[in-house]
Chains A and B, each alone.
Chain A
Amino acid sequence: MKSFFVPLLVLAILLAGILLLFFTGPLSTLDLIQVAALFFILAGTALFVADRYKSYRRREPAEDELSKALCRNAASASFYVSLFLWLFLKILSRRIALSTGNWITLGILGMALSNIMIWCFMKWRGMRNG
């Protein structure tokens, strides 16, 4: 149940974010970047949900040692990526004038995106020494 509830919650939050962006007047370049990132996150989440749903249909366990290891390794790798991402945004903030809220939004979206991208990469490449 947990493996379905969490992605659904993420989907609901992302959909709310997209709706909010579209109902707050004309979109700027930054808004478009944020919407694009949201769509990528949405696509990744859909992949994750589809993966779990396939297991549910086959009456397999929703999670096993491989799926747990994939999530764990993706989370730890994306943690390090996120550290550098925040550092990069901090340096960038000295050159580009944006509100604090926008920088935080970019950082959070970047963290989510990195987690999903690393998960997809590990799933494709495998994890021999994981």
Chain B
Amino acid sequence: MDNKIKEFRAKFNLTQQELADKVRVRRETIVFLEKNKYNPSLMLARQLSRVFDVVIEELFIFDEEKGE
């Protein structure tokens, strides 16, 4: 599962720390998410999509073939 967190973060002019504070996680989690090293929980994905005011499918790219 890929995501567009980095692009949206740049668009909203947010630092990783600011985004982490908004969704109440550690900055490391945002780093892992942006590097595609971690798939977030549904709750975190929802919080992130709310920050960027988009639907989850717009922020996260689901790969149907890989099942991710």
Interface residues of A (CB under 8 A from B): 51, 55, 58, 60-61, 64-67, 69, 125-130
Verify if B49 is at the interface (C-beta below 8 Å from A): no
The tally of CB-CB contacts under 8 A between chains A and B is 51
Verify if B12 is at the interface (C-beta below 8 Å from A): no
Q: Are B38 and A64 in touch, CB under 8 angstroms? A: no
Interface of chain B, main secondary structure? loop
Q: Are B37 and A128 in touch, CB under 8 angstroms? A: yes
Q: How many residues of B contact A (CB 8 A)?
A: 20
Verify if B26 is at the interface (C-beta below 8 Å from A): yes
Verify if B14 is at the interface (C-beta below 8 Å from A): no
Q: Are B26 and A128 in touch, CB under 8 angstroms? A: no
Q: Are B25 and A66 in touch, CB under 8 angstroms? A: yes
Q: Which of B21, B26, B68 contacts A67 (CB 8 A)?
A: B26
B33-50 with Cβ < 8 A to chain A = 35-41, 44
